[in-house]
Structure 1
């Protein structure tokens, strides 16, 4: 029986995850209800749940909770869409031509390690405090990981695969569309996962600096009034949405690229 259980790869992993979550909830419930920790610093699960219900019913600062969620997701998806439209084609070109790469690589490598808030002040000065500056900041955050993963993937395309296509009379455009791009797509999706994580963290930081709506703004504003229950609601919502996005992408990877990482 034990051997059969081990052979099932998913059940043990999911079981461990479920036990971990249950243990964290149990420790949280016991420690807060027995007053081991001040509720200001760590509210009880019951108070967090009640705060969540209150936000659903009344919203926050007169704005419905779903409006805050939509505003945050709008900024996120718009920036990711623009990054995909620009970073992937440019990354393919830079992967093909070392001269084009020499033009853009120093620029991207210069700003990539910089903390987003370091240059966000400039974006606010140039574009204002509305969504333009936030989308620009998120776009820059998503662009770098997508660009780097695309360039690296293009450079790893086997040369014999390209030579075989040329020997069969394929044009440069057909090689690009039918050989290079499909070969790079798994790595591009992986880069998108990384970009979503970086961009999501940057979104929260941007909303905490200059915003009047969004989940990040709720967390910051609630912390000013020591509403730790609302802060925890915002944190849990952000984490849950991030897990949902990543799970959708991983599911797509398993369905479309099940062969990746497997040997013949």
Structure 2
């Protein structure tokens, strides 16, 4: 009997010849085809001028805006003044500035969140007291913080980093807590029956069993921080990819706005893939116990 997991994870196949010869369509190629279809449809719509270019510029216009944002260029035709990228920075510098803010904010959440979640899971009174606070923070949208954080910390990077921390902290705590509470009692009882003390049970059973959930929480938190980057950079967000997207939008520079959105999305996908790969190396036992 074929295993259900094998059927689910198998790559789709397509018949090439009636004789049963098949070739596999992997997820990478499927993604390439999907992107090609989107770009083709986008090009067709803009070529037929079904939508005003102010609202939907062509892929070529977005590409030109991307290249312009990463090069030295004149302000306008006939003007000799040469400027760097957009808003005085290359686009990759805007992206790097945002990634640095996210690295600090999410990095702090990664250091603090698992410890808090682990403590909540192991000590019930702590969970009863802090649980409602964590759920309250999780329910608040990031824009609910921004005004207060600016009052407390000003419009510099400190308020932005705090906002990203508060966006990433609750998902990591909740994922860690769920991981601790999901540890099977049989594992704990087996360890105790073999003579393990409380510290050994925590270090050798609870912690390894919780790590897959922690990695998942970090992935969710990082993605949430990326969605918050524009809100974090609404005020004094230059350099910053979110700040550049916001300013270009207010200036009706739609091609650059879309270019920034695409860069933010691609960076998020790559970062998630990196975290997933690290998680596979750190917790190779995920799904096997």
- Aligned with residue 21 of structure 1, among 6, 13, 35: 35
TM-score of the superposed pair, with normalisation by structure 2: 0.84
Which protein is bigger by CA-based radius of gyration? 2
Q: 2:75 corresponds to which residue?
A: none
Unaligned runs of 5+ residues in structure 1 are: none
Q: 1:220 corresponds to which residue?
A: 246
Q: What is the RMSD computed on CA atoms of the aligned residues?
A: 2.0
Q: 1:205 corresponds to which residue?
A: 231
- Quick one: distance in 2 between partners of 1:15 and 1:132? 42
TM-score of the superposed pair, with normalisation by structure 1: 0.91
- Quick one: distance in 2 between partners of 1:21 and 1:65? 23
1:4 positional shift? 6.3
- Is this contact kept in 2: 1:5–1:12, CA < 8 A? no
Matches within 5 A, 1:1-264: 2=15, 5=22, 8=24, 11-57=25-71, 58-257=84-283, 259-261=285-287
Structure 1 14/4 Cα, relative in aligned 2: closer, same or farther at 3 Å? farther
Greater relative contact order (Cα < 8 A, sep 6+): 1
Unaligned runs of 5+ residues in structure 2 are: 1-13, 72-83
Structure 1 229/242 Cα, relative in aligned 2: closer, same or farther at 3 Å? same
Whichever structure has more strand as a proportion of its residues is 2
- Quick one: distance in 2 between partners of 1:28 and 1:70? 29
1:262 positional shift? 5.5
* Range that drifts further, 77-86 or 15-24: 15-24
SS at match of 2:234: helix
* Range that drifts further, 148-157 or 254-263: 254-263
